[in-house]
Amino acid sequence: MNAVDSNLAKGMLRIAIQRMVKEHPFHAHLLSPDSLVCDPEVKTMGVTIRGGRIQFPYAPEFVLRCSYDELIGVFQHEVNHLLFGHVLADPAEYPDAEARVIAEEVTANEWVAAPLPGRPLTLDQFPALRPLDDTDTRYAYLARKTANLEQKTVAMGPKIASSGPKTGHHGPKSGPSGPESGPIGPDSSLDSPAVDDVAPLDNHDIWREARENPVLGRLAIASAVQKARQAVDPSQWKGLPGGLREKIDELAAGRSAGTETENLPYGQLGGSINWRRQLRHLVAQSAVPRPVLHRPPRRMPELIGVLPAQCRLAAKPIVMAVIDTSASMVVALLEIIDAEISRLGRDYQVTVVECDAEVVLCYPYRGRLKMVHGRGGTDLRPPFEAQSLARVRPDVIVYFTDGDGPAPDRAPPTPVIWCLTPFGSRPATWGCEIRMTVR
C-alpha cells in the first residue's frame, strides 16, 4: 500500500465521520480523526483501547473497498461493540467462541442503520434469536444449541459423527422458531460450514489490548460515552432507538440534578496511591503545638476559654475526603475513588463529604462506600466554605474530582490535595496535585 492510497483511505474515513454528524450524531461524537490509526495488520477495521484512549485501527485496503455509506455502517458497528461491552468481555467466560462471535455481531449489527460491507452476521439469518435480546442471552441460547447437537452427534455413532465438520450457526433454518428450534438444534444439518467460516465483520483479536486493563477500559468508554451524550441535543437524542438510549444511559449515568444516588460495586479495586508518603509533609504540622481555647492554660487555669493553651492534635490527623459526585463522575471513576478512600482510612481519621453543585452529605468514614448522592452539576467551592470547614475541622483536605467545575480563587487555610482522575484537569493553581492511576 503506497502513501497515496493510505492518505486517500484516511480522507475517506474523515469524510464518513463528517457525514455521520447529521444522521448519526451520537456515534459521530465518539469518533475523531485522532482516534483513527492506520494498521494494515487488522485486515479490516476494529476498535480497541490503548493507553486509556479509544482507537479505531483500520487497513487502508479495506477502507478503499468500501463506499461512504458502508464506512458509516462500519463505524456504527464499532461503536456498538463499545456500548454493549463486547470489547472488554472476558473470553474465558464464553468458551463457545463461535457462539460468542455470532451473538456479538448480531447484537452490534441490529442497531446499524447503514449498509455493511461483505457478508455481515445479522438477525434475519438467525430467526430463532429474538429481537432486542442482549448479547449474553443470545450467547447462552446458541451455546446450548451447540452442546445439544454435539451430544446427539456422539449418540449417533462415529460413522455419522465423522461425516462432516462440526455444525455451526451459519444461517436461517426453515420452520417455526421457539425455545427448541433455530439454526442449531437436533435436526440441524451436519454438513454446514466449519467454525472458521463464521467470521466477524471486523477484527476482534485487538480487543485483547483493551482487556489488559479492564478498569481503565471501562473508564475510557464511560467517559467518552458521557461526553458524546452531552454533545447531542434533545431532538437528536430522541432520534436514537429506545433500546440504544437505555444502553447509553447505563454508561452515562446520573443526569438528574442533585437528587440521584449511584450504587457502587463493593471491593473490586485496590487503592494505588501511597497516602502515607503523599500526606506526610502536609499533616506533619498537626504535631506542632497549637493555641486552643477548650483547654485551660497550665499557668492560669482559671482563664480557660479566654487565654489559649498549647495543645498537640490527636495521633491520627483528620482528613476531609471530598468526593465530586456530579454527573461527570461516571461509576468507573467513583469505584476508583472508593478504593483510594478505603486505603486512606487505614491510617487517618477520614470524614467524607459528598458534593456535586452543593454539599449533599457529610459523615465519618466507616468502611467501603456503597453509594454516593448528588449526580447533578459541578461546583467545587462549597466544601471550602467556612461552615463546612468548621463542621469537620480537618488537618488536610483531599478533593477527589475530575476538576470540571469552578474552584475558589484563594486557597483555604487548610492544606489541600487535588486528587485528580486519570483524565482530569487541575481546577486551581493552589494546592498540591496527584493523579489517580488504574492498575
Q: What is the pLDDT of residues 65-74, one digit of tens each?
A: 999 999 999 9
What percentage of the chain reaches a pLDDT higher than 90?
46
pTM of the entire structure?
0.66
What top-level class would CATH report for the domain 260-435? alpha beta
The whole-number pLDDT of residue 226 equals: 81
Nearest to 248 by CA among 306, 352, 330: 330
- The top-scoring range by mean pLDDT among 37-51, 182-196, 328-342 is 37-51
Q: What is the pLDDT of residues 407-424, one digit of tens each?
A: 999 999 999 999 988 878
Give the distance, in angstroms, between the CA of residue 329 and the centroid of all CA atoms in the same chain: 11
pLDDT tens digits along 135-180 = 999 999 999 988 877 766 666 655 544 444 343 333 333 333 333 3
Report pLDDT for 112: 94
- Residue 85, all three cell numbers: 461491552
3-class SS at 148? helix
pLDDT value at position 363?
A: 94
The closest of 276, 429, 418 to 347, measured between CA atoms, is 276
Does residue 20 carry a pLDDT above 80? yes
> Looking at the chain, which residues constitute the CATH 3.40.50 domain(s)?
260-435
Is a pLDDT exceeding 90 seen at residue 202? Answer: yes
What pLDDT, on a 0 to 100 scale, did the predictor assign at position 282? 64
Instruction: Give the separation between CA 142 and CA 212, rounded to whole angstroms.
Output: 27
Alpha-carbon span 190 to 104, nearest angstrom:
24
CB atoms within 10 A of CB 184: 27
| pLDDT band at residue 306 under the 50/70/90 scheme | low
pLDDT class for 267, splitting at 50, 70, 90? Answer: low
